[in-house]
Chains A and B, each alone.
Chain A
Amino acid sequence: MKKLILSTAALALTAGFAMADTVRMGTEGAYPPYNFINDAGNLDGFEIVLGNELCKRASLTCEWVKNDWDSIIPNLVSGNYDTIIAGMSITDERDEVIDFTQNYIPPADSAYVATSADADVAGGVVAAQTATIQAGYIAESGAALIEFATPEETVAAVRNGEADAVFADKDYLAPLVDESGGELVWAGADVPLGGGVGMGLRESDGELKAKFNAAIDSMKADGTLNALIIEWFGENAATY
């Protein structure tokens, strides 16, 4: 009899384990300061710290998965990981296919960077990364769009004169401008694009979405999110 009880207990235990599945978090690892690989070869960045904190608050076991940007959404809906936390702006297009949590970075500006402040950003040649909201924006503006596969190449294009300016997330460009020694400068006016950065989830995963939303709420409420944003994006970053 005792044996029987024991084995039922063991069964309940394993069932319990099965319930507490690890949440797999998909990220790109190539977009500082949001997410990148540090010198030690580990994932690092604002979103990694944030993601771990959110998981802690939602009492979830989380695990990080690196995935190429181009296939990051198809792999999410196909179930290879459960969330995307990769500096992904909330847009209507994306929202049709996947769900987003509330944003954890307020709608941020995209900005132009050029070698001189009076570069022709409205009618000149503007570089952007393929398949980003920035590329879509430039395609619709009057400027001639030139697309590169990686953000690295878009900035290189300005340095070597292939493009008059590069248009990308301001937060991505800021450290590059700071350290370029005056070679790169801001140009034109900043453009608010997208609905802030949020965590992407499958549409059928409402429960997980609620958990993360609650965790983001609590981080917004106690100010830790703002502190984190300032730590990674600098004093001038938009906060809540």
Chain B
Amino acid sequence: MFSYCADPSTLDTFRWLTCYLTTGVHMSFYKSFLLVLALLAVTAPVALSFGFLGAMSARSPMKPVSWLGKGYIAIVRGVPDIAFFLFFVIALDQSFELIKHNIVCPDWTDPIRQGNDFLVCPQAKVPLGTSPEYVHQLYGFLLAVITFAIVFGAFAANVLYGGMQAVPRAQLETAEAYGMTRRQTFWRVLVPQMWVYALPGLSNLWMVLIKATPLLFLLGIEDIVYWARELGGTKTSKFSAYPHPDWRMWYFLFLLIFYLSFTKVSEVVLERVMRRLNKGQATSGGEAMRKEASA
């Protein structure tokens, strides 16, 4: 990075640190923070839509659909997320390839499973063997997003389901009295109303999602914990110009600060959203705001 970094062993502490903290690996470390933030930003809406679908089907009057929704919620929530992450990515990847295989290579006669090997035709590989590395990485990112979204979608479904149930019946009855159909009632009355009831649960879920990111490395993503471990580990002078003993403590301290401040920021933002949603609502939160305003 800096011109004086050519021979770090001769530098004083401050300069040594400036060189050390700007090496290529450290840049990867800083980039992984962006990666984690990007993943959170993509996962949250996807998980929310999974949750919405789950909650909708759990409420469905058709029994099989309702069982499907409730089963999804119950099974995924009953299992620790680590256990899920440890095999789900490979399962997901294989099922994608299997589907694509059946579409693009209908004439393929070789067995897909030969012993332990999972072999689809080369055209059905996702992504194709010829694709550049960034496509593979993008695909890995996508798999991680889907896995996260499926797990947290189940939690979101549960929260949204509770939110939908909490909307006062009178509201729905009024809608019916106005002659709205089931569908209209759902979209025009229930959905806009449920957020205020669901938000406390959803904001908790967001906090949980943040704190689940250290498990990303299980999904094959080089996340902040992966790099903190990698960088903090003992480095010998044979393989690094910056030898140092076990410094994982400092890296993890940095992560701790990151997580705490991220949580704090999220808390503040969510508090604001909650205030907005509470405005004019017939809940205790809305009541408190009315009192504030009139006082």
Query: Do A and B interact?
Result: yes
Q: Is A143's CB within 8 Å of the partner chain B?
A: no
A202 near B117: Cβ-Cβ < 8 Å = yes
Chain A residues lying within 8 Å of B238, measured Cβ to Cβ, are: 32-33, 175, 178-179
B25 near A37: Cβ-Cβ < 8 Å = yes
- CB-CB nearest in chain B for A177: B236
Docked complex Cα distance between A174 and B222 (Å): 28
Docked complex Cα distance between A53 and B86 (Å): 34
B122 near A18: Cβ-Cβ < 8 Å = yes
Q: Is B94's CB within 8 Å of the partner chain A?
A: yes
A21 near B130: Cβ-Cβ < 8 Å = yes
Chain B residues lying within 8 Å of A17, measured Cβ to Cβ, are: 130
Binds B, one of A63-71, A113-121, A125-133, A222-230: A63-71
Say whether, besides A71-B220, A175-B236, A179-B237, A204 and B117 are in contact (CB < 8 Å).
yes
Q: Which of B130-165 contact A (CB under 8 A)?
A: 130, 133, 136
Pick the residue among B25, B114, B117, B234 that contacts A152 (CB under 8 A).
Answer: B234
Chain B residues lying within 8 Å of A79, measured Cβ to Cβ, are: 97, 117-120, 125
B114 near A78: Cβ-Cβ < 8 Å = no
Q: Is B218's CB within 8 Å of the partner chain A?
A: yes
B240 near A38: Cβ-Cβ < 8 Å = yes
Contact mask for chain A residues 163-199; partner B; CB cutoff 8 A; 1 contact, 0 none: 0000000000001101100000000000000000000
Q: Is A36's CB within 8 Å of the partner chain B?
A: yes
Interface size on B, residues (CB 8 A): 42
Chain B residues lying within 8 Å of A203, measured Cβ to Cβ, are: 114-117
Say whether, besides A21-B129, A67-B220, A152-B229, A32 and B239 are in contact (CB < 8 Å).
yes
Chain A residues lying within 8 Å of B222, measured Cβ to Cβ, are: 66
Q: Which of B67-105 contact A (CB under 8 A)?
A: 86, 90, 93-94, 97
User: In the assembled complex, how far is the CB of residue A24 from the closest CB belonging to chain B, in whole angstroms?
Assistant: 7
Interface size on A, residues (CB 8 A): 44
User: In the assembled complex, how far is the CB of residue B175 from the closest CB belonging to chain A, in whole angstroms?
Assistant: 50
- Counting from the closest, the 9 A-B pairs by CB-CB distance are A41-B24, A40-B24, A152-B233, A175-B236, A21-B129, A41-B25, A39-B23, A41-B28, A77-B116
Given contacts A32-B236, A78-B90, A150-B233, 5 further A-B pairs with CB under 8 A are: A41-B23, A71-B86, A79-B117, A152-B248, A203-B116
B-side residues, CB < 8 A to A, are 23-28, 86, 90, 93-94, 97, 114-120, 122, 125, 129-130, 133, 136, 217-218, 220, 222, 229-230, 233-234, 236-243, 246, 248
Q: Can you name 24 A-B pairs with beta carbons within 8 Å?
A: A21-B130, A33-B238, A33-B239, A38-B239, A39-B23, A39-B24, A39-B242, A40-B25, A41-B24, A41-B25, A41-B26, A78-B118, A79-B97, A79-B119, A80-B93, A98-B116, A152-B234, A159-B246, A175-B238, A179-B236, A179-B237, A202-B117, A203-B116, A204-B117
